[in-house]
Structure 1
Amino acid sequence: MSNGEDKVPPEKANIPTMNRFNLAAGIIIAAVLIFGAFSATRGTERPAERATTNSAVKNNPFEITVTGVKEKNGKSSDSKFVVVEVKAQNSNNKPASIMSSMFKLKDSRGNEYSADTFASNISDLSVNPGLTRTGNVSFEVPTNASGFVLGVSSDMFDFGGADYKYVDLGAIK
């Protein structure tokens, strides 16, 4: 250090750049594996937990009962609305929000449909414990779609890992 330049200590001078890359790649891979393992335990359908119309399905914080299902004309000639009448009771000990985005519809072909927010009326940002809200969740589907199952999430926003409980809607009249 006589000429004023800093010298790298010998024990650090021999660390190859590739080792740093391997370390960074290893950390990223470990994070992806951990996240993937966590996601694999969520978002799975449990057929044994399927409810039917007029029976409650519990998915915290709400206990959801489908009280009716009907079809209406859609926005175009090749679509229809499946309108699901629901009763949602907050069975938690804290206020909770209910939104149409907590529901999805599946048909017999495995297609998934999101709720039409503007055609639904089951939104409430603060449902106190023990209180119940009723309303409709509407889904626009192709006219030839059938065999519907309603998915009920505990999360307002599903980013691919929400846990759903299902209600078999049976024959729609």
Structure 2
Amino acid sequence: MTVLTIVEHPAAILEKNCRPVTQFDSKLKRLVRDMQETMIKADGVGLAAPQIGLDIRLAIVDVEDEHGLIVLINPELVESSGKQTDIEGCLSFPDLYGEVTRPNVIQIKAFNVKGQPYTFRAEGFLARAILHEMDHLDGILFTSKVTKYIPAEELERVDS
């Protein structure tokens, strides 16, 4: 596996609407493994293809719960409800954090690495992580949704 370079803002690809994945092959499976390795090394919970410089609708999420790695290929939001506000960060914006409001419960449809469609329901932090990564595929950055920025030093005090 390979640890890939994470693209940081203001790279143009981060604000691009990505094209659908059409090839479900061994190259895609290898890319997903490399993205997973990169995300783990960066201590993230999600990573989208534009964050590694690729213009495709592929993202992964792993919030270390019972679901394990979730691969989102050509994902679509089917349904959402409720509201939650919490602090978000992004691997493409090192040391930048802010409060973002998102739906609390979501249902998505997507494809797995074999090209098989599936639907998935998530709530709370997992829903937040999935929506954050899906936004990347549409060129939407979390900074456009921040209602209040949180200094990194303040977060460190909370985590202690």
TM bucket, shorter chain: under 0.3
Give the TM-score taking structure 2 as reference length.
0.27
Structure holding more helix per residue: 2
